[in-house]
Structure formats: structure tokens, C-alpha cells
Amino acid sequence: MTDAKFSWYGNFYGIAWRTNAENPIAVPLFVKEDESQKIAEIVKEWKPKDIHLSFIEKDDDTYAICIYQEADSGENTGLYRSGMSQTGTYGKIKNMIEKKSSMWNPLRAYIQIVYAKDPADSSTYKNMTDYIIVGRLEIISEAALNSKKFATERDAHTTLGGYSVKDTTGEN
């Protein structure tokens, strides 16, 4: 990925979680329909085998999520969001990932872009994409960002790392 350049999009409401056949689905929630449509159109073009979904666990018991398509060159868009608590649903999803990845039946993870008229009311959610399978799923520590393997995640973290949920309440 030496010549790839990323524009990191972090201005979405947050992450919701779903499951499909005991596999996790990370759901970036958007509160502006036009923004969700724009990102959905980009994500629909991604090749599933090249999609990366990384959870970056921070020392302060929060995590960040980084979603992008691996690319060798060109301009690319990725999603990055930090400041979310490692407790609650994320803890359950993490346990599911760890348990299933140690079993003979391989884990499949998905992403799905969703517009939420009211993020507190799931009945207002509108799926902007179908489930999109992820080619690589990683749970890493913030310290792992120093590794060459996670250069793209480091770029997102450096660009938007200070971005937290409370900074965008009510925005997209």
C-alpha cells in the first residue's frame, strides 16, 4: 500500500452491532441520509476480500474502529471512529470473535451502512447496504499501531485519533 492515500471519514454517529448466524456485523450509523448514501455507494464498490475491519483497543478502556479497503494506489475512503467504550455490546462482540476464531468453524464478520433517523430507536434504521463480508478482522492494542502491518490504521488514528463520540453528538 505504498502509494495509497486515504481520506478518513469519522463524522458519523457511532457504531451499532448486529449478528448474523452468530457472526458479528459492525454497523456504522449515520444521522444524515445523504451522507449515509454517499458512504454506502463507496462501500458497495469495495471487494470483500480486501476489506479490513480493525478494532483498536486503547488503554483508557475505549476502542476505535477502522474500516477500509486495502489498496495499492490511488485515492481511497476509509471509516474511523474512536472514543467508544469497551464494555457493553463491544465486550460481547469481542468475546464472540475470540470464541469463534478458536473453533473449527471460521468466523465471518460483516459491515453494513445504516441511516438512523433516530439512533435511539432501531425502528427508524434504514439499511443503505446489504451485509458486506470482511476479508480481514483484527483486534489490536493501540501499541500495535507502531507495527508496519498496521500502517493504514496508524494513518487513520493519527488523522482522526482524537475524535470522540461526544465531539459529534447530533452531527454526521
* Domains of the chain, residue spans: 3-164
Q: What is the mean pLDDT of residues 75-92?
A: 89
Over residues 118-142, the pLDDT tens digits come to: 999 999 999 999 999 999 999 999 9
The answer, yes or no, to whether residue 47 has pLDDT greater than 90, is: yes
Cα separation of 84 and 98, whole Å?
A: 19
The whole-number pLDDT of residue 171 equals 41
The whole-number pLDDT of residue 113 equals 97
Q: In 3-state terms, what secondary structure has residue 64?
A: strand
8 Å CB contact between 44 and 129: yes
Query: CB under 8 Å to 40, separation ≥6 — which residues?
Result: 113, 128, 129
Q: What is the mean pLDDT of residues 58-87?
A: 89
The whole-number pLDDT of residue 98 equals 82
